[in-house]
Structure 1
Amino acid sequence: MEPRVGIVILNWNGWQDTVECLSSLQGLAYPNFEVIVVDNASTNDSVGQIRQRFPAVRVIESPENGGFSKGNNLGIRAFMAAGVDYVWLLNNDTTVSTLALTELVRLAQSDRRLGVVGSVLYEYDQPGVVQAWGGGSLNKLFGLTKDLKYPGIPSYITGASMLISRKTLLEVGLLEEGYFFYMEDVDFCLRVIDKEYLIGVSSRSRIYHKGSSSVNNTKTMKSVKSDLLFSESVGKYIKRNSSLVGLLGRIFIMISSRLRRGEAGRIPVVVSGVVRGYLR
């Protein structure tokens, strides 16, 4: 029998995306999986809409929006208690190819040293364009990340599609809940590697992701809230994985980048965010 996989999908006010994601999961060729949707205290009718369309899918309602890590950990804990062999974290703004899960499990089963396996992410509206080859590169000192756009070995696997073995979760632990959004996948993969596990990418596992890399596109003006969340997470990452030198260097990089982009007005936001994240 194929290994048992628990799929965790996190929803916050995005039931339309979540419903489309759940619909695509019905086309998976893999025979042995279950789904949990964790609703992160949506302020709309997400829970009702999801339950109406997918009454067989378990929905866990979080009493608060604790962010990406805390929400996903609710689903992970439920599946670990149920005894699954793997947990697949999957963003709600994705759709999956028929063999997406089959190929993830195939690769994970091929080498017991693999703790985390990722998919190749493609742009949802441009399905021939690679958004990220499993994850990205990392400058560990400064916490700088960049999506990998071609076949290779990333420094981390993106949380948009991350298959984690039960053994890995037992030895490494869950996602760090100090991160609200951003950098939690990087932090988790570093902990996995520290435990001498490997990370890998299945080239045949194709995921189509609406959450475009435009979030990090220098031509796109991100919201102030997004800037603040990102910079706080970077500060927390540096505190956990780098040094004061890394913090000062990242502040310099942030200031220089915003000046080049004509976003000088955002400098106080990102600098205060990264410092606040580092000090917490």
Structure 2
Amino acid sequence: MLASIISIDLTAPIPAVEVVPPYESLLVLARIGHVPVALVSIPIPPALGCITPKHLHATLVAATRPLLWEQGIERQLQQQSDPTEWPAISVVVCTRDRPAALAHCLAALKALDYPNYEVVVVDNASREASTAEVVAHAGLRYVREDRPGLDWARNCGAAAAQHDIIAYTDDDVRVDSGWLRGLARAFADPQVDAVTGLVLPAELDTDAQALFETYGGMSKGMRPRRFQHETLRSDQLIGVHALGVGANMAYRRHVLAHVGGFDTALDVGTPSGGGGDLDMFHRVLVAGFTFHYEPTAMVWHQHRRDMAGLQRQIENNGRAFGAYLLKIWKQRSAPRHVTARFAYRWMRHYLLPQVWRSIKRSHHVPLSLTLGELRGAIDAPRAFRATYLHDHRLRTRTGA
């Protein structure tokens, strides 16, 4: 269902909202200041082009009433616990040949409500000069990593960063103005070593974008959560997709150094097609460090607009997750029987039922997508071998 997306602060007057075709619903992020409370979907009757403040107010209150008191208290506590000095943060954006998307990303980063940060743009082997031109026009730092692969770029960005907290986002993301304040509040606890945040859709203007949200999207919810090795089962140390996504993550510098940086054989630009963020989440937790999921550290992601792009993404997700599991199996970072059981359940209780529901048409996800993810998972062993061979050859050729 195509949706118009707006953000409404419940402490301010609620406006009238005009919704025009082709939108069929209004997706409202209800928030109290920078604290997200709920994501509310409001269907739009065909004859109704405008939602009045009264109707919108009643709908939002009904949807959020159980949460308002709790979130209001949480907001007050957050404000009381704001750092006396906001820590300096380095923001790393990795990009390749997407100047238009990058320009929008950098404009949002320059508008951040934060007193002390830098932006480092890593050009990952772009073939045109337009990336450097966009960064120069924005007046931000530019570095180039000629070895293709997102994790090469992430490591390059960490090496170039000047500050001890390093935050990562992608060129298809528009950060919320309070993003870094949310990260800083989480890092104000000295026991927190890494932080992820809320990722919401920037738009739901096409069928492909709406389908991606139906398939699961990127959001991990509106509630903060803590993840620590000693409180997680072995299978939870593998299922780290519950922590967040690579489009919104941050680490203390010593954490990245301790685990050896991102695995350059993984993620976009390699035969694996992804998995670098999950691998990092897993290794950080296994090493004994603490993750915090902080929804006030919020960003808006530009989902793929066309079905062909979504098809590639979903298939890559299956391939990347399989490669991630194979790395855990090979390196024994979890007991092998736990890894095998996790892989079996992923296939038996997630991938195959998804395909079956598409065949029966008991959900709205087309068979081409669910089969694509299954096809990617089946291809994972080949991709795993190919991606580490590719990485070895690249390192040999470049002397890395």
TM-score band, normalised by shorter chain: 0.7 to 0.9
Query: Which residue does the alignment assign to 1:58?
Result: 141
- SS of the equivalent of 2:118 reads strand
What secondary structure sits across from 1:178 in the alignment?
coil
Q: CA deviation at 1:157?
A: 2.8
**Which residue pairs with 2:39 in the alignment?**
none
Three-state SS of the structure 2 residue aligned to 1:29 is coil
**What SS does structure 2 have at the residue aligned with 1:71?**
helix
User: Could you tell me whether the CA contact under 8 Å between 1:119 and 1:202 is conserved in 2?
Assistant: yes
What corresponds to 2:260 in structure 1?
173
Determine if the alignment matches structure 1 residue 12 to structure 2 residue 96.
Answer: yes
Matches within 5 A, 1:134-153: 147-153=219-225
Could you tell me whether the CA contact under 8 Å between 1:17 and 1:93 is conserved in 2? yes
Are 1:114 and 2:220 counterparts?
Answer: no
Match of 1:274 in 2: 380
TM-superposed CA distance for 1:114, in Å, is 1.0
The aligned amino acid for 2:379 is G
Query: TM-score normalized by structure 1?
Result: 0.76
Superposition TM-score, scaled by structure 2 size: 0.55
Corresponding residue SS for 1:157: coil
Q: Give the unaligned 5+ runs of structure 1.
A: 132-143
Which is worse superposed, 88-97 or 40-49? 40-49
Distance 1:3 1:199, change over 3 A: same
Q: Report the equivalent of 2:153.
A: 71
Change (3 A) 1:48 1:201: same
More deviation, 144-153/114-123: 144-153
In 1: Cα distance, 2:170 partner to 2:152 partner? 14
Deviation readout 1:21-46 (Å, 9 max, x if unpaired): 11112222222211111112223443
State the distance in 2 between where 1:51 and 1:227 align: 30
Distance of aligned partners of 1:122 and 1:180 in 2 relative to their CA distance in 1, 3 Å threshold? closer
How big is the shift at 1:76? 1.0
What does the per-residue CA deviation read over 1:88-126, in whole Å, with 9 as the maximum and x for residues that have no partner? 1011112222221122112212x2221111222222127
Any gaps of 5 or more consecutive residues in structure 2?
1-84, 210-215, 228-241, 269-273, 330-338, 359-366, 389-400
Cα distance in 2, alignment partners of residues 65 and 255 from structure 1: 33
Percent of counterpart pairs with the same letter? 19
Distance in 1 between residues matched to 2:219 and 2:178, nearest whole Å: 23
Cα displacement (A) at 1:249: 5.2
In structure 2, C-alpha distance between the alignment counterparts of 1:107 and 1:113, rounded to whole Å? 10
Shift of 1:4: 2.2
Supply the distance in 2 between the matched residues of 1:222 and 1:24 (Cα, whole angstroms): 24
Provide the rounded CA distance (Å) in 2 between the counterparts of 1:58 and 1:241: 36
Matched, 1:26 2:98: no
Structure in which a larger fraction of residues adopt strand: 1
Q: Residue 256 of structure 1: CA displacement?
A: 5.0
- Partners of 1:265 and 1:158 in 2: CA distance: 23
Q: Tell me: CA distance 1:166–1:254, structure 2 relative to 1, closer, same or farther (3 Å).
A: same
Residue 49 of structure 1: how far off its partner (Å): 3.1
Higher helix share: 2
**Equivalent in the alignment of 2:299:** 207
Query: Which residue is 2:280 aligned to?
Result: 188
Q: Is the counterpart of residue 39 in structure 1 residue 123 in structure 2?
A: yes
Structure 1's 89 and 103: CA in aligned 2 closer, same or farther, altered over 3 A?
same
Q: What is the alpha-carbon distance in structure 1 between the residues aligned to residue 351 and residue 107 of structure 2?
A: 40
| Contact preservation (8 Å) 1:258, 1:266 | no
Asked if the contact 1:29/1:99 (under 8 Å) is kept, the reply is yes
The aligned residue for residue 136 of structure 1 is none
Contact 1:6 / 1:86 at 8 angstroms: preserved in 2? yes
CA distance in 2, matches of 1:240, 1:61: 28
CA contact (8 A) 1:97 1:207 kept: yes
Give the C-alpha shift of residue 159 in structure 1: 1.0
The structure with higher relative contact order (CA 8 Å, sep 6+) is: 1
| Structure 2 residue 346 is matched with structure 1 residue 257 | no
In structure 1, the residue matched to 2:44 is none
Question: Which of these residues, 68, 73, 98, is aligned with residue 177 of structure 2?
Answer: 98
Aligned-pair distance for 1:9? Answer: 0.3
Structure 2 residue aligned with 1:235, among 316, 322, 325? 322
Aligned residues: 253
Instruction: Judge conservation of contact 2:199–2:218 (CA < 8 Å) in 1.
Output: no
Q: 1:19, 1:53 within 8 Å by CA — same for their partners in 2?
A: no
Pick the aligned partner of 2:202 from 101, 113, 124: 124
- Mark the structure with the bigger radius of gyration: 2
Runs of 4+ in 1 over 6 A off after TM superposition: none
